[in-house]
């Protein structure tokens, strides 16, 4: 019997698992996918939010800033990639000033101490490429960007290194109460026993909650499409740029990523299913709206479109609770700012377990540190690295020339306690395939390295051809947007 079972290995599940690995507990984390961070965690804005946009009266309003404050230390320990670059909420109309001031006051109520209202000249000094029609902005100095799927991978690796068991390709389909806790049943009818269960199931969290009879909320998948530009394109701006938020979210943002790409989006469409396809008409609308933030966007720098699916609760708030079913804890409806809030959510869950008399005795052997797989670096000219591209198999051989990822890096990523069985899994850990050619060159080369390590065939096309996701291609979207921009 496990002490604690966690359902879901996204940013919330892995944060909780890592937090619990500090204690002398037997912890297991399940995910139905073949890797961690396969849901909303791998497809989002990658923003570490300030904490001013969420109402002070809501759970997420109290947790966002509390989580944000932990990112510096977490990155020092886990090396997943985080940088404070600040954020601006831009107001282009005089009548938006009142709402901007409300955001400022709400941020103060949430405990922020790094907010400032800026006028036109101050904004232009900070962001010379912003639309010069801007009148006011709310500046949050401590907001930033991170690599969210790398963060979840790092959390999971560290949790596993500290004794947590990770079980992938396993969907929990039923939960039964027992005298000692719970019996969890997977899709193969295999049983697992646990004293406490934590539901971090993302868009499936309402389904998991219903398994124990807690059904007062529903989850609506809300899709948001994004446009990603080539590495280096993010240099046109210095901070995360938001437009004024709406009822559906924080609006279209323009932001550099941690690795220097430019990211634009998302829109917000409530769906019946968690469809992750992208659509030319939605991407065109996103691009047009982003042009209101800055005219410096160049669609020819486009390399990829993608869709994230947020788990929106009918309560319009995070649901983090010890339920009436003793020992069953819900972490549901964790949409934006879920990544930013994740460290604080994990802290809250630990406290809930403590209140439920879960024995939390610290493990003296806990090691909080995890070495990076990759670090941010300047890319060298292709002619300099070509001899390493042409090498026979060796640690120094460059497998991905766009992102200059070596064979040794790929092997390292595959030997950290988590099974990595797909090209996409390598991509999220090493950035092989994240460059201009989007894996056209390196996918078969990555597959060859994986085959040597795993001793089994790897289909280089598997993740693209069998994913069931239809993404708008590079040539199609460039032509479509150029044609319709006038």
Q: Known catalytic residues?
A: 49
Give the SS3 label for residue 80.
coil
Q: What are phi and psi of 293, to 5 degrees?
A: -80, -45
Q: Which residues contact 77 (CB under 8 A, 6 or more apart)?
A: 158, 368, 369, 370
Distance CA(51)–CA(65), nearest Å, equals 5
Distance CA(435)–CA(188), nearest Å, equals 39
Distance CA(440)–CA(94), nearest Å, equals 48
Partnered with residue 105 across adjacent β-strands are: none
Distance CA(442)–CA(192), nearest Å, equals 40
Per-position DSSP letters for 272-329, written without gaps between them: SS------HHHHHHHHHHHHTT-TT--GGGEEEEEEEEEEEETTSS-EEEE-SSTTEE
Instruction: Give the count of alpha carbons within 13 A of 476, CB side only.
Output: 11
Classify residue 471 by its DSSP letter: P
Q: How far is CA 34 from the centre of its chain?
A: 17
Query: Could you tell me what percentage of the chain is helix, strand and coil, using 3-state DSSP and rounding each to the nearest 5?
Result: 35, 25, 45
Residue 337: is the preceding peptide bond cis (ω within 30°)? Answer: yes
Q: What are phi and psi of 104, to 5 degrees?
A: -60, -50
Q: Which residues contact 472 (CB under 8 A, 6 or more apart)?
A: 278, 279, 280, 283, 305, 480
């Amino acid at each position: 019997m496990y002490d604690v079972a966690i359902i879901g290995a996204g940013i919330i599940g892995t944060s909780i698992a890592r937090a619990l690995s500090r204690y002398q507990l037997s912890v297991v984390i399940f995910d139905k996918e073949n890797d961690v961070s396969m849901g909303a965690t791998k497809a989002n804005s990658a923003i570490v939010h300030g904490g001013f946009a969420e109402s002070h009266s809501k759970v997420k309003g109290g947790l966002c800033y509390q989580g944000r404050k932990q990112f510096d230390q977490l990155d020092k320990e886990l090396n997943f990639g985080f940088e404070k670059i600040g954020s601006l909420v831009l107001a282009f109309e005089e009548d938006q000033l009142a709402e901007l001031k409300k955001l400022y006051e709400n941020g103060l109520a949430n405990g922020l101490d790094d907010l400032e209202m800026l006028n036109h000249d101050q904004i232009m000094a900070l962001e010379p490429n912003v639309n010069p029609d801007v009148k006011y902005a709310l500046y949050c100095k401590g907001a930033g960007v991170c690599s969210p799927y790398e963060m979840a991978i790092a959390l999971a690796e560290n949790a596993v290194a500290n004794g947590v068991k990770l079980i992938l390709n396993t969907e929990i389909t039923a939960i039964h109460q027992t005298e000692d806790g719970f019996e969890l049943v997977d899709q193969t009818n295999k049983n697992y026993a646990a004293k406490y269960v934590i539901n971090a199931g993302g868009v499936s969290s309402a389904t998991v909650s219903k398994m124990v009879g807690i059904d007062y909320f529903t989850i609506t998948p809300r899709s948001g499409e994004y446009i990603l530009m080539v590495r280096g394109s993010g240099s046109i701006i210095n901070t995360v740029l938001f437009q004024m938020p709406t009822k559906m979210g924080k609006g279209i943002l323009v932001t550099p990523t941690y690795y220097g790409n430019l990211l634009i989006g998302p829109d917000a469409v409530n769906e019946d299913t968690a469809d992750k396809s992208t659509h030319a008409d939605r991407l065109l609308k996103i691009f047009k709206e982003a042009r209101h933030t800055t005219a410096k966007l160049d669609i020819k720098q486009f390399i990829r479109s993608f869709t994230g699916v947020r788990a929106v609760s009918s309560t319009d708030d995070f649901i983090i609770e010890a339920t009436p079913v003793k020992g069953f804890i819900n972490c549901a409806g964790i949409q934006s700012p879920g990544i930013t809030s994740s460290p604080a959510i994990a802290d809250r869950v630990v406290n809930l377990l403590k209140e439920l008399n879960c024995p939390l005795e610290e493990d003296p052997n806990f090691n909080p540190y995890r070495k990076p797989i990759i670090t941010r670096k300047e890319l060298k000219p292709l002619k300099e690295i070509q001899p390493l591209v042409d090498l026979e198999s060796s640690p120094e051989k460059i497998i991905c020339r766009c992102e200059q990822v070596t064979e040794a890096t790929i092997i390292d990523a595959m030997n950290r306690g988590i099974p990595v069985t797909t090209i996409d899994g390598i991509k999220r850990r090493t950035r092989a395939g994240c460059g201009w050619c989007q894996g056209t060159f390196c996918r078969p080369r990555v597959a060859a390295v994986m085959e040597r390590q795993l001793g089994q065939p790897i289909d280089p096309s598997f993740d693209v051809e069998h994913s069931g996701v239809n993404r708008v291609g590079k040539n199609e979207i460039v032509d479509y947007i150029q044609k319709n921009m006038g």
